[in-house]
Structure 1
Amino acid sequence: MKKIFGFESWKGKSPFESLTSQQKTNTGLTPEACNSITSWNRCHIRDKDLRKIHRAASVGDAQEMEEILLKSLRHLNDRDKMNRTALHLACANGHPKVVALLADSKCRLNLCDNENKTALIKAVQCQEEGCATILLEHGADPNIMDIYGNTALHYAVAGQNMDMAAKLLSYKANIEARNKDELTPLLLAITENKQQMVEFLVKKNANVHAVDKMKRTALILAVNDPSSDIVRLLLQQGVDVFAKDNNGWTAKEHALKRGFNL
């Protein structure tokens, strides 16, 4: 993860926009994930590749879905070429009525697609809170990780969806889950300079002493933006200002390098 969250100026643009394509992949959050606020990453659908149940799910045809399920449940968990189920497609495209029909028919809630994303991860990533709520109420697991190590909570943080984050936590989502770059949801919120999400997670007792795989503390990550109130918030939480990253640098040294006194 070289210079993934490098200490360059991100003023006037999102942190994600300052990264190269390779860096975006290496963060553990793909472009579609980090841009989930502005890009909902709806599932790409090729009609000829889909069974009847997948087509009904993708367009949200609840009546057609009900007829399919009444005839037979044999295809309830069938996959398309990307290993997506009808539940994945309904969630990603925001069709809660279809999601409810599938869940009530006892479909398998935690099946994963080619990126190891569950239907719940897709619902959260695509900001479909209604679909995500139905899944959680039916017992979907909020702690399954995709191929990047991200959980549904990581995607809620990336989308700065505090309502969704709160709901996930109420269903026992792991607030300290680490993705492949050892980023907890709190560290991810800090790297993306999402102040409200950071404040929310701190109030929910997220570990402010966590470090990423380069041993960068929350404070080291936060001094990337010296104007942010995140630095002040972390200092108020009693974080260690002398902790060093893999390069032997403290948050103070990173701050001085950027021309301000921590």
Structure 2
Amino acid sequence: LIHKGSSSLTAVYLSRLRLTRLLLEGGAYINESNEHGETPLMVACKTRHTDSQSVPKHKMVRYLLENGADPNIQDKTGKTALMHACLEQTGAEILSLLSEQRADPTLEDHSGLSALVYAVNSGNRDILSVLLDACKAKGKEVIIITTNKIPSGHQMTKQYLNVPPPPDLEERLHFTPASCTRHHMSSSYGLLHRAHRQLLLPNLAAPSLASGSPSV
């Protein structure tokens, strides 16, 4: 994952905060990237390396952000640090740090997916709540639409404004991002994708509470 010639990326991957600080103070570029386009901040969000000299992930992420790491740089697949954090489910604290530094949850990668969509599909309510709060702080309302079959065989459509769907959302959405393209998407993801697009529309007309209506 790490470019052989990049000492700072290696230091971040190993979670060596003191070494990372020394390298950056010595002139290393904080937003340099490896052959995959991954920056130190992305690597900090992705790494799972731990040993006796490693620092907690949130300390490394905080240090990089405080020293100029750009959370909205995209790697060669179009993913940002926020997207990687959602995919790795690094925890609400990491996502909060990124959001506080203006990480954009609506940027899309080359597959047309955003951090918000990755958060929805993770089924992690804590992660999704952080991103919803970040969107509200930017003055954007988020509608998440889900579908579920009711005993009669009809589909029940529910929409949630600025709140996470119920905990069983993951069971309803049988969607794997890597297996979908713009031309072949599951119906559940299509609904989520439309909801995500509505982020760009001002003054959405939607109920303030979850509501349900059957569709045939």
Q: Secondary structure at the match of 2:9?
A: helix
Report what 1:55 is aligned to: 10
**Equivalent of 1:202, from 140, 155, 160?**
160
Matched positions, count: 160
Task: Map Cα deviations across residues 88-110 of structure 1 (whole Å, 9 max, x no partner).
Answer: 10011262211111100112220
Q: Alpha carbons of 1:47 and 1:213: their partners in 2 closer, same or farther (altered >3 Å)?
A: closer
State the AA in 2 paired with 1:204.
N
Please tell me whether residue 186 in structure 1 is matched to residue 153 in structure 2.
Answer: no
User: For residues 160 and 190 of structure 1, do their structure 2 counterparts lie closer, same or farther at Cα, with a shift above 3 Å needed?
Assistant: farther
- Helix, strand or coil at the partner of 1:186: strand
Corresponding residue for residue 173 of structure 2: none
The residue that corresponds to 1:97 in the other structure is 59
Deviations 1:199-233 (A, max 9, x none): 99626369xxxxx989x977xx9xxxxxxxxxxxx
Runs ≥4 residues deviating over 3 A: 203-206
Render the CA deviation track for 1:206-262: whole Å, top value 9, x for unaligned: 9xxxxx989x977xx9xxxxxxxxxxxxxx935352xxxxxxxxx3xxxxxxxxxxx
Measure, in 2, the Cα distance between the counterparts of 1:46 and 1:77: 14
1:61-101: CA deviation from partner (whole Å, max 9, x where unpaired): 111111112222x4111110000101110011262211111
What is the CA RMSD across the aligned residues, in angstroms? 3.5
Looking at structure 2, the residues matched to 205 and 92 of structure 1 have their Cα atoms a distance apart, in angstroms, of 27
TM-score for both structures, normalised by structure 2: 0.62
1:125 lines up with 2:87 in the alignment: yes
CA contact (8 A) 1:162 1:200 kept: no
- Determine if the alignment matches structure 1 residue 239 to structure 2 residue 206: no
Residue 7 of structure 1 is matched in structure 2 by none
For residue 154 of structure 2, what is the aligned residue in structure 1? Answer: none
What is the match of residue 78 of structure 1?
Answer: 32
Matched-pair identity in %:
23
Asked if residue 170 in structure 1 is aligned to residue 133 in structure 2, the reply is yes
Contact 2:62 2:97 in 1 (8 A): yes
TM-score by length of 1: 0.52
The equivalent residue for 1:150 is 113
Indicate the structure (1 or 2) with the bigger Cα radius of gyration.
1
What SS does the corresponding residue of 1:172 show, helix, strand or coil? helix
Mapped to 2, the partners of 1:163 and 1:108 lie a distance apart of 24
**Do residues 138 (structure 1) and 93 (structure 2) align?**
no
Per-residue CA distance 1:103-123 (angstroms, 9 max, x = gap): 001122200011100001101
Q: Is the 8 A contact 2:129 2:163 kept in 1?
A: no
Q: Say which SS state the counterpart of residue 239 (structure 1) adopts.
A: strand
Aligned partners of 1:93, 1:238: CA distance in 2, in Å? 41
Contact 1:76 1:102 in 2 (8 A): yes
Return the alpha-carbon distance in structure 2 between the equivalents of residues 201 and 240 of structure 1: 12
Give 1:64's match in structure 2, choosing from 2, 19, 23: 19
Cα gap change, 1:58/1:217 in structure 2, threshold over 3 Å: closer, same or farther?
A: closer
Going from structure 1 to structure 2, the CA distance change for 1:93 and 1:202 (only over 3 Å counts) comes to same
SS for the counterpart of 2:29 is coil
Deviation string 1:27-53 (CA, Å, 9 cap, x unpaired) is xxxxxxxxxxxxxxxxxx2562x5011
Verify the 8 A CA contact 2:2 2:34 in the aligned structure 1: no
CA distance in structure 2 between the partners assigned to 1:190 and 1:169 by the alignment: 22
Distance in 2 (alpha carbons) for counterparts of 1:51 and 1:165: 33
Which has more strand, going by share of residues? Answer: 2
